[in-house]
Amino acid sequence: MNSFFLGISLFLCLLIVPCLYRAIVGPTVIDRMVAVGAIGTKTLIILILMGFLYERIAMFIDISMVYAILNFIGTLAAARYFENKGEI
């Protein structure tokens, strides 16, 4: 089972690469924001899988929840910032 989780984690890490490409190259701000959001979601899943691997799932769920909240706030703040042209 461990190698299964490890495999999925590695696969998700690989999937981050195209998102990272879009985040760096992406011509518009919106592209970058969506890419960062997608990376955040993948990181969340990887964190939980890490929890399974280290058999400390309760701890990693806590961490991933904080990550989810901050990801949401970050996206919202960026969207607000660019919508209002520099004002929050």
Partner 1 sequence: MNHDSSTNRTKPYTPLTSYQPVFSQRRVEQVRHFTLAFVLLLLFWLLLSGHYDVFHIVIGVLCCLLVSYTSSDFLFVHVGADDTHLIIPRLLTYIPWHLYQIVVSNIYLAKLVFSPLDRLTPRIMPYQTKLTNGLALVTFANSITLTPGTITIDLDEHTFYIHAIDSKVADDLLTGEMEDRVEKVFLPAAHAKVRARTMLAAESNNLIVKTIVRLFTPFIQIYGLYVIAHGHYSPGGGFQGGVILAASVVLLALAFGLRRTMTKVTEKLTTMLCSSGVFIFGGLGLLCLLLGGNFLDYEKLDLFLKVGAPQSRSLGILGIEIGIGMAVMACMTSIFFDIATAGELPDEPSEPLTVDDCVAAEDAVNE
Q: Is residue 29 involved in binding partner 1 (CB under 8 A)?
A: no
Look at the block and give the residue holding tokens 């400390």: 56
Q: Is residue 76 involved in binding partner 1 (CB under 8 A)?
A: yes
Residue type, 81: Y
Q: Is residue 59 involved in binding partner 1 (CB under 8 A)?
A: yes
The dihedral over CA atoms of 41, 44, 45, 50, expressed in degrees to the nearest 10, equals 160
- Maximum pairwise Cα distance, the chain: 49
Query: Please, what is the minimum distance in Å from the beta carbon of residue 70 to partner 1?
Result: 7
Q: Is residue 45 involved in binding partner 1 (CB under 8 A)?
A: no
- Out of 66, 71, 82, 85, the residue judged to bind partner 1 by CB under 8 A: 66
